[in-house]
Structure formats: structure tokens, C-alpha cells
Structure 1
Amino acid sequence: MEVYGYWGVINKYCIWVLKFIYTNVLWLAFSILGLGALGLAPSTTALFAVQRQWIRGETEIPVFKYFWNYYKSSFIKSNFLFYIMMLLGWIIYFDLKFFMARDGLIFQTISLLLFILSIWYMIVFVYLFPIFIHFELSLLQYIRFACIVGLLHPFNTIIMLITVGLIYYFMLLFPNFFYLGGISLLTYCIMLFSYKCFNSDKLIKAKTLKRDSK
């Protein structure tokens, strides 16, 4: 029985809150299932996959089944891509620390370039999982395509990064929010902003690479 009016709004709100909490629990559980190091990437991929379906209007999908299927099918590839990015991140981080600790115009210039590169790295990383579950590409193409999306949609990227930053800051202030839907809300916002980019005219040629629903 469908509820209308004021109570209908509250009912829909409560349903969505429960969905975010439920998928957040799944993300935590399957991350632990993979011993953290191996479970984080496929669990995050599966979470984005479920939320992509919600954004596409398919809000009644069997969440657990969909999550589990995507977790299994993306386990190896998502981990490989994730740790490539982590390796690149560590290289940028340690190089930045190394050059910032030294004096001289050359070192300052290199530090500035590395700082710009680190910002671009964060942009690529934010887009990476949505692109991974939305397109069929090679591993290097995922990284390249994330660069392209960030370049073509600077305003969308800035708003998305601000939103992600605010949610992250809120989780720092209220740690319990991390367990009560914080990660799920954060990834949903990223997926929502990314999906708008994927359906823009500038990326119309890339739509042929879009994954079918699983």
C-alpha cells in the first residue's frame, strides 16, 4: 500500500536511509571478507555498481545478489587497477616530500609541479571507480579516461570534490556516521556527479563502451 502526502515523503526518506545503511554494511562486510587489502577495491566497485542502478531508476534490484555478483566478477581487475593507483600515489607523495624538504628554485619548481600532479591524481582517483563500472576499457584506458572526464568537466569536478570533502569532514566530526551510511552516501554522490558527465554530449562517442546491467 502506497503512502501519500507528508507521511509518504517520510516513508520514502526512511527507505532511502535504510538502503544507504544496508549497502554501507555490505561494503564493510565484504571489505573484511577480502581481508581489507584485497576486499576494499571489489567491495567499493560493487557499491558503485548498485548505486549506478539506483541512479538509472532501477531502485528495486536485488541489492545483495547484485552486489555479490559484481564483487566476484570484478575482484581481480579492480584490485589490480586499485593497487596501480596506490603505487602511483605513493610515488607522488614521497617525491613531493623529498623535494619540499630541499631548498633552491629547481626543487621548489619540481615541488609545485608535483603538487599540481597530486591534485590531478585525486581527480582521476575520484572518477576511477564510476568509470570502471560504467565502461568496458583496458586498465590504462580507465586512468586515461578519468583524466579526460576531469578535463572536460571542471565545474562538475570542483563541486563533486567539495561535496566529497564535506561528507568526509562530517565523518571525522561524527565517526559513527562512517558505519551508518557515510561511505555509501559519499560514493552515491560521486556516482551521481560522474553519471551526469557520462551522459553529456562531449562523451557521446564513449557511450558505446558502456557496460550492460548485470
Structure 2
Amino acid sequence: MELEGWKGKLYWFVEWITLLAVLQLLWTGLTLLGLLLFGVAPATVAMFTTLRKRLQGEDDLKRLVKIYWNTYKVEFIPSNKIGMILLSVGYFVTINFQIVSSLHGLLGLLLLTVFISISILFGMIVVNIFQLYAHYDLPILRYFAASIIFSIAYPLQMISNIVGLIILYKLYSCFPGLIPFFGVSLAALFLTWMSSHIFKNDREADEHTNLPYYSAGRGITS
């Protein structure tokens, strides 16, 4: 029997809290299983894939956990290719930004401007790439360009994502006890929910981004 009124809302709230806590536990455990370095990317891809399945109507917790695990296994190597590239670029940007920021004069200003631009592009990629990976079937390197294209095609979406993530950061700063239970899962839910409004109209998204549609979860359903 379907609950109505405040009982239905309470059940809906508890259901989502439980799911987010379970996904956070899975993300933490599978990240550790991959020795941190090799576990973050597949665990994050599995997180976005599972949340998209939930937003599309799949509400069975056991099935969602199974989808998470299967996605993690299938995407372990492909997603780590993206993860290693992100790690390398992030390290390069961080180290060189520190060097460039210590330079003076016109050359220092020009190089600083270049690296700030690179950092912004890198931020766009980090925010979007795993969402796009869960939705589109592309060559690995094209996901990086697609992440930038997606940000440019939907600038308000990107701004809203950044504002939302800043708010979550402030929330976690005030209540650090939330981080072990909802640190990654809540942020992933916010980003997935924001992008779901775009992905619902796949034809419009394709026209804006010129990307081929591919169903969520990359064919992984159980």
C-alpha cells in the first residue's frame, strides 16, 4: 500500500537518506578496494550510474547495490584511464601554477592568465566528465572535450553546479560529521539531479553538444 501525506514524505526522505548512506559506504569501500589510486574513478562512475538509475525510477535498494557493483567491475579499467589522465593533468597544473604564481612582470602575468584559464577548463572537466561517462558512449579522450562542450552549451547549469558544490562545502565545513555518511553521495546526487533535467530531453542535449546518446549505465542493469 502506497503511503500518502506526511507518512509518504517521511518514507521518501528516509529511503533517500538510506540510499545515500549505502552509496557512500560502497564508494568508500570500493575506493579502498582499488587501493585509493585505482578505486576512486570506477567507484565514482558507479555512483553516478546508480543515482541516474534511481532518478529514472529504479527504487529497489538491492538491485541498485547490484548495479553499483557490476558497474564498478565492468568500468574498472576504462574509468581508470580517465582517472589517471585527470590525476596527471591535475598534478601538472598544481605544480606549474605554484611556479608561475611566483614569477613577476609581464611574462609572469601572461603565464598566470594561461594557467588560470587551464585551471577553469580542468574544473569544468572534473565536474562533468563522470556524468557524461555514465550517459554517453565515446572514445576515452573525447570525454574531456565533451565535458568542456557541455559546460559551454549549458553555462547556467555549470554556474548552478559550482554554486551548489560551494554550498555543500560550507555545509560540510559546519557539520563535518556528515562527510563519512554523505560526503560524496550527496554531491553526486546534486550533480546528477541537475543534469537529469537536460538528459531527459536527449534530442535537445544532442543538438547542443553534438554527442551521441547512450543509455544510462552503459547497458548495465543487474
- When structure 1 is superposed on structure 2, of 193-202 and 155-164 the one drifting more is 193-202
Residues of 2 paired with 1:155 and 1:107: CA distance? 32
5 Å-filtered alignment, 1:73-152, equals: 73-152=74-153
Q: For the Cα contact (< 8 Å) 2:137–2:212, is it kept in 1?
A: no
User: In structure 2, how many angstroms separate the alpha carbons of the residues matched to 1:26 and 1:131?
Assistant: 21
* Helix, strand or coil at the partner of 1:86: helix
Alignment match, 1:173: 174
Segment of structure 1 superposing worse, 55-64 or 92-101: 55-64
Aligned equivalents of 1:9 and 1:60: distance in 2?
17
Q: 1:208 to 1:9 in 2, by over 3 A?
A: closer
SS of the equivalent of 1:59 reads: coil
Deviation of 1:109 (Å): 1.4
Q: Is the 8 A contact 1:33 1:39 kept in 2?
A: yes
User: Which residue does 1:206 correspond to in 2?
Assistant: 211
Give the whole-Å Cα distance in 2 for the aligned partners of 1:79 and 1:189.
Answer: 23
Q: Distance between the aligned counterparts of 1:35 and 1:213, measured in 2? A: 24
Corresponding position of 1:2: 2
Identity %: 25
**3-state SS in 2 of match to 1:206:** coil
Shift of 1:41: 1.0
Rate the CA distance shift 1:202–1:38 in 2: closer, same or farther, 3 A. closer
Instruction: Decide which moves more: 145-154 or 191-200.
Output: 191-200
Displacement over 3 Å in runs of 4+: 197-200, 207-213
> Partner letter of residue 24 of structure 1?
Q
**Equivalent position of 1:17 in the other structure:** 17
Partner of 1:45: 45
State the 1:152 CA deviation.
0.5
**Aligned letter for 1:203?**
D
State the partner residue of 1:30.
30
Task: Using the TM superposition, give the Cα deviation of residue 26 of structure 1 relative to its aligned residue in structure 2, in angstroms.
Answer: 1.0
For 2:196 and 2:42, the matched residues in 1 are separated by 20
Distance 1:78 1:54 in 2: 21
Which is further off, 176-185 or 63-72? 176-185
Unpaired segments of 5 or more residues in structure 1? Answer: none
Residue pair 1:197, 1:203 contacting (<8 A) in 2 also: no
What is the Cα deviation at residue 153 of structure 1?
Answer: 0.6
